[in-house]
Amino acid sequence: MKGNIAYLNPEKKLVSNCVDSVQAYSPVCSRDKIKETGEFKEGNITPLKLDWNESTIPPSPAVKEAIQDALEKDMNLLNWYPELYSKKLASHLAIYSGRSVNEILVTNGSDDALELICKVFLDPGDHVLVPYPTYTHFVTYVQSRGAVLKKVETPDPFKPDITSIINNVTPETKLVYIVNPNNPTGVLISRKQIKTLCSIVKDAVILVDEAYFEFSEKTVADLIETYPNLIVTRTLSKAWALAGLRVGYLVTNHLTVKELSKVLNPKSVSTLAQVAASAALGDIEYMKRYVREVEASKIILLDYFRKKNITAYDSAANYIMVQHPKLELLLKEMENEYIFVRDRSSFKNLPGFFRITIGNNWQTEELVSRLERVLNRI
The string of pLDDT tens digits covering residues 218-258 is: 999 999 999 999 999 999 999 999 999 999 999 999 999 99
Report the pLDDT value the prediction gives residue 40, as an integer from 0 to 100: 47
Q: How far apart are CA 328 and CA 355, in angstroms?
A: 14
Q: Is the pLDDT of residue 159 over 60?
A: yes
**Intrachain domains 25-54+285-377 and 80-282 with the same fold:** no
Please tell me the CATH code under which domain 80-282 is placed: 3.40.640.10
Report the pLDDT value the prediction gives residue 162, as an integer from 0 to 100: 94
Structural domain boundaries of the chain? 25-54+285-377, 80-282
Q: What are phi and psi of 121, to 5 degrees?
A: -110, -20
Report the pLDDT value the prediction gives residue 154, as an integer from 0 to 100: 87
Three-point CA angle 199, 203, 204, nearest 5° = 95
Cβ(340)–Cβ(34) under 8 Å?
yes
Q: Is the pLDDT of residue 135 over 70?
A: yes
Q: What percent of the chain has pLDDT over 90?
A: 87
Q: Is the pLDDT of residue 10 over 90?
A: no
The string of pLDDT tens digits covering residues 56-105 is: 999 999 999 999 999 999 999 999 999 999 999 999 999 999 999 999 99
The string of pLDDT tens digits covering residues 307-341 is: 999 999 999 999 999 999 999 999 999 999 999 99
- Average pLDDT estimate for 107-113: 98
Cβ(225)–Cβ(218) under 8 Å?
no
Range 25-54+285-377 classified under CATH 3.90.1150.10: yes
Q: How far apart are CA 193 and CA 171, in angstroms?
A: 21
Region of residue 243 (left: phi > 0; alpha: psi -120 to 50; beta: else): alpha
DSSP state of 121: H
Write down the pTM of the prediction: 0.93
For the CA atoms of 31, 118, 215, 52, the dihedral, rounded to the nearest 10 degrees, stands at 10
At residue 4 the predicted structure's pLDDT band, cuts being 50, 70 and 90, is low
